[in-house]
Amino acid sequence: MKTRKLRNLEVSAIGMGCMGFTHAYGEGPTEAEGIRLVHKAFELGCNFFDTAEMYSYFKNEEFVGKALKELPRDKVVISDKFWPTPLPGQDMPEGKLSEAGIRKDIEGSLLRLQTDYIDIYTEHQMEEGSEEQVAEVMGKLIKEGKIRAWGQASPTLEQIKKAHAVTPISAIQSEYSMMERKWEKDVLPFCKEAGIGFVAFSPMGNGFLSGKYSAKDSFAKNDLRSVITRFSKENMEANEPLLALVRKYAEQKGCTPAQIGLAWVLAGWDFVVPIPGMRKEERVVENLGAADVTLTAEEYGALNAELANIKIYGDRDGKDIKKMGTVPDNVVR
């Protein structure tokens, strides 16, 4: 597996998003099968595993802790995210983003992950006005060895700059794919200039770019795609030209549409690391295999030129996701 740098951390070019093992995409695999798939990914060269305390309210961290406990700790990179407000069972009258609150939070995560340190600790949702305060605490945690690096999730450029000036950020984590490119305007160029990595979640548009779903498919209420507007029947039909384009390049390159989606993310910026979810062995092999699918500069430019003429319908709006009944706030990325 090729590797990439998230400032001070070297990780596999493609990581594994672990959220779906316990949460948000309907019924997942058994715990034993999930652990086997994590180990399979590791065998194939993936060393970067992403979780969050928000996912299933701590259960995902517990799952990742069990799965990675059997692997050499110095060979894996754990990406974890902390939520800015108290979650069920968390008593933090001092405020979640205060130094005391963050310290309570990370101690709980370390216990669930069964480790002494977290490689990259990310603020999961940004709270306006707290950037410098959080960055200062992150600097202390780095000096104490509790974390090796830190990051922000879906921040604005201004929020990045404020925090980065206090304690250097190693990675921004945000949605990035052919279907969501807003970060190309200012955030990605700044990351390149400042030496900050970028972790791309939903790099295949929550699976849409894999071509494995159609307007005929329906999604269970505990599947976040049931509220993501790009998965409405009308929008899936309207986005067929995008899938046709992806399939055309997949045929030309002798790979799958999913691999083209991931190869596109890798081709544009050498500091971007996609973290697709994968809950079946064939998906693990397929997704990680995308690291060996190379789009030349000419192919990448031609693909983008065609993308410029295709309108994308629907999006992945956190406000919509929060409306989910049985899986409320903790499906937010």
Q: Which two tokens stand for residue 3?
A: 């590797």
Task: Show Cβ contacts of residue 274 under 8 Å, excluding neighbours closer than 6 positions.
Answer: 14, 15, 176, 199, 200, 201, 203, 262, 265, 266
Strand, helix or coil for residue 285: helix
- Residue 175 backbone phi and psi in degrees, to 5: -70, 135
123 touches 151 (CB < 8 A): yes
The H-assigned helical ranges of the chain are 31-43, 59-69, 99-113, 131-144, 157-164, 187-194, 233-238, 240-253, 257-268, 281-289, 297-307, 318-321
Q: Let me know if 158 is exposed, middle or buried by CB neighbors in 10 A (0-12, 13-18, 19+).
A: exposed
CA distance 289 to 278: 12
Q: Which two tokens stand for residue 280?
A: 């079946």
25 is catalytic: no
| Catalytic annotation, pick one of 25, 55, 176, 249 | 55
CA distance 179 to 186: 17
CA distance 264 to 258: 10
Enzyme catalytic residues: 55
